[in-house]
């Protein structure tokens, strides 16, 4: 259960709309099911009162929506940012992708979001409704008479279990409290992959990436993927026709994408959240982050606006290419 209440968010949003301080509110609303909470743009109080949702399923990161919405909407947009969303928000500002003046950012605390896959594993298919209560989810399915209670903690998303920070690095106003940057274990899985032999690692990724159906959801949701024209959609890039001769050839899409976002990825984990095939795509990006940290010292994309990512910066103490090559197995 989230510590800050839905009501306080709605109240704040309505107050700002009615005072004409903002002309729209980026928030969450229910999709077809209780668990597919989707981003939505609200422009009137009634809609907010009725449809605004804030619960353990509000994983969606709004930062990327600001790129398009700030262009198309007159006046300011109110957006709610969880701690991890604020990193993407800053990174997009660093890249001049939207006008900061057109956004009113409210930082809200987050206790971690749940993973519907884990819930389904626990109580099976046929979920009719889910109620988020204190520390438990009450899941009603088509096949059971009584709701099944699942402890929220047991179904937290992987990215939340490895949460890097509860601290808001950008906001105009905070509702609730901000936290600290955490000691996270998020590189454990990367290190496990690094410890594999090259063949084992290849087999691992072949198994994962062969499932890719190239729906482009990872790219479309990624806050680092905001190019005016994606190279994969551009016949002149010489890249778009490099992907997909067989099922594993999609790896090129993912590897190229990982290179494109290297140094800019804040590790928000949206790519893995939206993947319909449950491919752990965030591990590719995390490997880059881990390497950058090792070669150039700790760097967190989006921690501050205007920071120079090591890959597009140059200092006299930078490693030589040969040192990186030699250190590749360490």
Binding site for other proteins (CB under 8 A): 71, 94-97, 226-231, 234, 236-239, 260-261, 264, 308, 311-314, 316
Q: C-beta of 207: minimal distance to other proteins in Å?
A: 26
Q: C-beta of 256: minimal distance to other proteins in Å?
A: 11
Q: C-beta of 277: minimal distance to other proteins in Å?
A: 25
The nearer residue to other proteins, 207 or 234, going by C-beta atoms, is 234
**In which residue are the tokens 């939207």 written?**
98
Q: How many Cβ atoms from other residues are within 10 Å of residue 151's Cβ?
A: 11
Paired tokens of 308 = 């120079």
The nearer residue to other proteins, 264 or 287, going by C-beta atoms, is 264
The nearer residue to other proteins, 114 or 261, going by C-beta atoms, is 261
The nearer residue to other proteins, 82 or 254, going by C-beta atoms, is 254
The nearer residue to other proteins, 154 or 234, going by C-beta atoms, is 234
Tell me the residue length of the chain.
330
The nearer residue to other proteins, 142 or 316, going by C-beta atoms, is 316
Q: C-beta of 264: minimal distance to other proteins in Å?
A: 7
* Burial (CB count <10 Å: 0-12, 13-18, 19+), residue 19: exposed
Paired residues of 41 in beta bridges: 26
Q: C-beta of 237: minimal distance to other proteins in Å?
A: 5
Q: C-beta of 231: minimal distance to other proteins in Å?
A: 5
| CA-CA-CA-CA dihedral for 207, 210, 212, 214, to nearest 10 | 160
Q: Is residue 110 helix, strand or coil? A: coil
Angle at 228 between CA 284 and CA 245, to 5 degrees: 50
Residue (of 113, 141, 118) closest to 33 by Cα position: 141
Alpha helices in the chain (DSSP H): 6-18, 45-51, 65-72, 83-94, 116-123, 158-161, 188-195, 198-209, 217-221, 250-261, 270-274, 282-296, 321-326
């Amino acid at each position: 259960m989230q510590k800050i209440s839905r009501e306080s968010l709605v109240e704040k949003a309505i107050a700002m709309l009615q005072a004409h301080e903002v002309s729209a509110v980026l928030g969450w609303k229910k999709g077809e099911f209780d668990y597919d909470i989707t981003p939505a743009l609200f422009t009137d109080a009634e809609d907010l009162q009725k449809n605004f949702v804030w619960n353990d399923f509000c994983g969606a990161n709004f930062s990327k929506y600001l790129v398009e919405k700030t262009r198309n909407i007159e006046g300011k947009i109110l957006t709610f940012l969880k701690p991890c969303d604020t990193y993407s928000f800053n990174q997009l500002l660093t890249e001049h992708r939207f006008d900061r003046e057109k956004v009113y950012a409210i930082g809200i605390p987050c206790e971690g979001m749940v993973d519907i896959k884990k819930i389904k594993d626990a109580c099976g298919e046929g979920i009719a409704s889910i109620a988020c209560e204190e520390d438990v989810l009450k899941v009603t399915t088509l096949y059971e008479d009584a709701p099944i209670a699942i402890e929220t903690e047991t179904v937290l998303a992987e990215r939340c279990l490895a949460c890097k920070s509860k601290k808001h690095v950008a906001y105009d106003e905070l509702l609730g409290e901000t936290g600290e940057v955490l000691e996270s274990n998020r590189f454990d899985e990367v290190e496990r992959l690094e410890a594999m032999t090259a063949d084992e690692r290849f087999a691992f990724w072949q198994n994962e990436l062969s499932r890719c159906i190239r729906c482009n959801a990872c790219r479309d949701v990624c806050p680092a993927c905001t190019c005016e024209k994606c190279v994969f959609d551009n016949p002149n890039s010489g890249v778009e026709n490099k992907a997909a001769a067989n099922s594993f050839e999609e790896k090129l899409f993912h590897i190229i994408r990982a290179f494109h976002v290297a140094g800019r990825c804040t590790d928000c984990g949206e790519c893995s959240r939206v993947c319909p095939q449950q491919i752990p795509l965030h591990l590719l990006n995390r490997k880059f982050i881990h390497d950058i940290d090792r070669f150039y010292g700790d760097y967190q994309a989006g921690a501050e606006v205007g920071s120079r990512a090591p890959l597009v910066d140059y200092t006299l103490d930078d490693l030589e290419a040969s040192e990186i090559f030699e250190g590749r197995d360490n």
